[in-house]
C-alpha cells in the first residue's frame, strides 16, 4: 500500500490469531473491540493535535 501510493503508512491490526478473519464464522472479542476503539480514538485525537501535524514543505 505504501509502495503504491508513496505515502507513509501505519498498520494497526484489530484482530487476533483465532478470529477467522474474512471467514464465514469470523468473530471479534468484545475486549479486542474495546482496545481497538481506544487505540484508534487516541490515534485520531493525536493526529488532530497541532503539535503532531507535520510541517508543510513549501515547494518551488
pLDDT, position 16: 84
pLDDT(59) > 70: no
- DSSP 8-state assignment for residue 7: -
The distance between the two most distant Cα atoms of the chain, rounded to a whole number of Å, is: 54
Q: CA dist 15 to 23, 29, 55, 56, Å?
A: 13, 8, 33, 34
- What's this model's pTM, rounded to 2 decimal places? 0.61
How far is it, in rounded angstroms, from Cα 40 to Cα 51? 18
User: Model confidence at 5, in pLDDT bands (50, 70, 90)?
Assistant: confident
Amino acid at each position: 500500500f505504501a509502495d503504491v501510493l508513496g505515502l507513509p503508512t501505519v498498520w494497526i491490526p484489530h484482530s487476533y490469531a483465532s478470529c477467522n478473519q474474512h471467514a464465514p464464522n469470523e468473530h471479534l472479542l468484545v475486549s479486542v473491540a474495546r482496545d481497538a476503539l481506544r487505540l484508534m480514538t487516541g490515534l485520531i485525537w493525536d493526529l488532530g493535535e497541532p503539535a503532531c501535524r507535520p510541517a508543510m514543505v513549501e515547494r518551488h
